[in-house]
């Protein structure tokens, strides 16, 4: 089973940049999307449905903002939008889909880049999401959480850790959250299978950052302990250029 997660920075923009053709080549079984920036009725989903995808979306209440989705070749047994916390759910940040013995979550964490108020919102989200994920894994043992976490965990995950030590996304408190999340039993699939590989999943649009590979690894696929033995491969698909992010991919043995 091949699972791709992609912050598309606007689904309509990504479709205009050749996302469909790329998807036909990659042909994932499950596609997690973040930052849709569109309501369901604003997108023509026909081609994706013709490719065999069932489409499950959780847009933000605010138009042109946030939003997550899960597209899957197999129908979901159950879909849940949000965490049951209005502050976060209004922003369309979480969607969960159950497939037989596997649960997949597409998530878009707040960035905190627009100021102290949003950084505080990010910290609230981090605490709430950790608790929500802890409850979920007690209910559904095999869980994959895929999405844009907006945090670099280690120095090797960012092009210049020294100059970014006070930057949101690489703050000590944020990095400590990832430590605690992993210590609670979650597995960073990319780092678990590529312990020494220094690659990035996001580059600023400014200063030719992508061409110069001045990036950050802020996109993850976290596997629960029950899912860890099924992980076969994990990587970043850096050739995909429909967004300022690149997709993450994992392959797991089928359920």
Query: Residue 105: which of 67, 79, 134 has the closest Cα?
Result: 79
> Is 148 annotated as catalytic?
yes
What is the gyration radius of the CA atoms in the chain, in angstroms?
A: 17
Contact by Cβ (8 Å): 30, 4 = yes
What is each CA distance from 97 to 32, 65, 104, 105, 193, in whole angstroms?
10, 22, 5, 6, 25
End-to-end CA distance of the chain: 8
Q: What 3-state class would DSSP assign to 148? A: strand
What's the CA gap between 135 and 140, in Å, rounded?
9
Query: Which ranges in the chain belong to alpha helices (H)?
Result: 11-16, 19-26, 46-50, 86-89, 116-139, 172-183, 189-193
Catalytic residue (choose from 29, 44, 120, 148): 148
Q: Which residues are catalytic?
A: 148
């Amino acid at each position: 089973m091949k699972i791709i997660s992609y912050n598309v920075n606007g689904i309509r923009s990504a479709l205009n940049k050749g996302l469909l053709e790329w998807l036909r080549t990659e042909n994932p079984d499950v596609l997690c999307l973040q930052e849709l920036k569109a309501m369901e009725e604003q997108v023509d989903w026909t081609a994706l449905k013709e490719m065999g995808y069932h489409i499950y979306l959780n847009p933000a209440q605010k138009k042109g903002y946030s939003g997550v989705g899960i597209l899957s070749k197999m129908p979901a047994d159950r879909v849940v939008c949000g965490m049951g916390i209005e502050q976060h759910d209004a922003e369309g940040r979480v969607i969960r889909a159950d497939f037989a013995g596997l649960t997949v979550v597409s998530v878009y964490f707040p960035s905190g880049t627009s100021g102290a108020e949003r950084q505080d919102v990010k910290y609230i989200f981090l605490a709430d999401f950790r608790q929500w994920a802890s409850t979920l894994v007690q209910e559904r043992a095999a869980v994959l959480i895929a999405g844009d976490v907006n945090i670099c965990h280690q120095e090797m995950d960012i092009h210049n850790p020294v100059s970014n030590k006070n930057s949101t996304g690489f703050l000590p408190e944020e990095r400590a959250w990832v430590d605690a999340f992993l210590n609670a039993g979650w597995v960073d699939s990319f780092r678990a299978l590529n312990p020494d590989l220094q690659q990035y999943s996001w580059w600023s649009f400014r200063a030719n950052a992508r061409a110069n590979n001045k990036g950050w690894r802020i996109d993850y696929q976290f596997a629960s302990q029950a899912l860890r033995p099924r992980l076969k491969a994990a990587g970043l698909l850096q050739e995909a250029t429909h967004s300022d992010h690149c997709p993450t991919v994992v392959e797991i043995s089928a359920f």
